[in-house]
Chains A and B, each alone.
Chain A
């Protein structure tokens, strides 16, 4: 059973460019979450999918951010017109909604640096 994977692991981009990150959850996990972690802080919730439906978005997710999970498997997070304030670690997590099991398993993250 492979864990959650994220690609790329690191991304350096210039301000104003668009970037897209991918997350592959643990197979059969029906819930997928995106979080953002800045230096010295805990992860903050961005958005969440149950299967292919995006059920909640944080107010942190501005109009420049969009996330998809087209077939209920992998997910993408796109940031348009990046700003220096977008520099952070973007974490993906997945979980299986079944019975009493709610643990979220995290991927290694994508570290974004906007110059």
Chain B
């Protein structure tokens, strides 16, 4: 069985602060994908990143960075110099690589950036 845990239900930070969203996963599969999606108030899930289990390199995309550590089964997401537009619910998700790729989501972290 697969499980994704996002222990932080809600986070509020002041604009321009850095913030890290935690994600811990469980799976018995040896090959899998990890994802982050953003769900703004409009409701549509927006894909942010996909990482496969073979690649533990950290990734940076502008103000966003991701830290994947298989040893701790974590895939954390950091936003640097946060902006009000970053306010949203963020979901971490997991899928088995090679099957139907259905996504198992965490419960999400609601991030509020205070101007």
Contact = CB atoms under 8 A, between A and B. Distances in A.
B45 A55 contact: no
B53 interface: no
A31 B95 CA distance: 15
Most chain-A CB neighbours within 10 Å: which of B45, B91, B101, B106? B45
Interface in A61-96: 89, 91, 93, 95
Contacts of B37: 106
Contacts of A43: 45, 91, 103, 105
Chain A interface: which size bin? 20 to 34
A107 B104 contact: no
Main SS at interface, chain A: strand
Interface string B1-20: 00010000000000000000
A33 B106 CA distance: 18
A106 B108 CA distance: 16
A40 B47 contact: no
Among A42, A89, A104: residue with most chain B CB under 10 A: A42
Contact of B107 (A42, A104, A108): A42
7 interchain residue pairs of minimum CB distance: A42-B105, A106-B45, A45-B102, A108-B44, A102-B101, A48-B100, A43-B105
B72 interface: no
A108 B91 contact: no
A91 B45 contact: yes
B100 A55 contact: yes
Contacts of B33: 102
A103 B44 CA distance: 15
A109 B44 contact: yes
